[in-house]
Amino acid sequence: MIEWHKEKIIKCDQKVNITAAFGSELVLEGSTAIPNILLKIYNKIGISDFQMIMLIQMIRLYVEEKELYPSPEKLADCMEADPARIEKELAGLMEKEIIAVSEYFDSERKVIFEGYDFEPLFLKISDIWAGIRAKDIEESERLLRITVDGRDFDDKKFDDSAAALIPIFENEFGRALSPLEIEQIEQWAEERDPRLVVEALKQAVLRGKHNFKYINTILMGWKKNNLRTLEEVADYDREFQSRRSSRTGQGGETGKGGLNKADRNNSRKKAFIKTLYI
């Protein structure tokens, strides 16, 4: 076991304000960052309250003292527990594949040593996060699906297309448009149904993308798929959602590749999220 002990540096002049001294040491001693998502979901991955406190102490020792493989006795000193229980809880975490023991290489000392590995823990957290994120994204996509009933445009006349679109854009952007932006809107209005331009604006705003480049990307995607009306866009969107739902629901408990249903669902969630960010 390799340990690095942080030397305690003490100020020589002790004639200081005790409150100021405490505040200074509170800051300079540093802190241990624990992800909020871990604190929210640790019980969902089989970590008990006691084990969570133990993990926090292990992370603190890793960060503060560079002690990668603290003994049960060392951890017991940090908690109200005896070394035998600490050893049992550590074994439980490793059995659940929440932590592991790996080999590390110290390039300065030129030695290889063992230490606790937290990658399995954060892999489990990423799986939970992927599920939560996928659910949120799917809900937002559901809200973005187009319901075509014509009511949004019953009272709008687009005889002068660009003139009707410009105030709509200015209202959504909360500012006056530049000459180049107006020229872009005029070009869109000449090439496609103005209602599609408004729909692309709506989808961009709902996604928090207040820029012309993103709106143009939406319109170009519809053009690439030869979608010329709101009805065609709605049909295409419904077919896309249906295909994605069908892919998500395929397969039994265990596939030919040996992955169980939960593993395949996690893989699909991660793949789905990857397509949104890359």
Give this prediction's pTM.
Answer: 0.50
Q: Any idea what the Cα angle at residue 165 is, between residues 163 and 169, rounded to 5°?
A: 125
* β-strand partners of 103: 114
CATH fold of 18-116 reads: Arc Repressor Mutant, subunit A (1.10.10)
Burial 241-255 (b: 16+ CB within 10 A, else e): eeeeeeeeeeeeeee
Domain ranges of the chain: 18-116, 145-277
CATH fold of 145-277 reads: Arc Repressor Mutant, subunit A (1.10.10)
Cβ neighbors of 111 (< 8 A, separation 6 or more) are 2, 105
Q: Which two tokens stand for residue 174?
A: 């909360």
pLDDT tens, position by position, 9-47: 555 565 667 777 777 777 767 778 888 989 999 998 999
Distance between CA atoms of 156 and 150, rounded to whole angstroms? 10
DSSP letters, 131-152, are: HHHHHHHHHHHHHHS----SGG
Q: What was the pLDDT predicted at 253? A: 44
pLDDT average, residue stretch 42-70: 93
Amino acid identity at 90:
L
pLDDT tens, position by position, 151-179: 344 444 454 567 888 888 988 888 898 99
* Domains 18-116 and 145-277 belong to one CATH topology: yes
Of how many residues is the chain composed? Answer: 278
pLDDT tens, position by position, 233-278: 888 888 877 776 666 555 444 444 444 555 555 666 666 555 554 4
Q: How many Cβ atoms from other residues are within 10 Å of residue 118's Cβ?
A: 17
Distance between CA atoms of 54 and 96, rounded to whole angstroms? 15
Q: What was the pLDDT predicted at 155? A: 45
Distance between CA atoms of 98 and 115, rounded to whole angstroms? 14
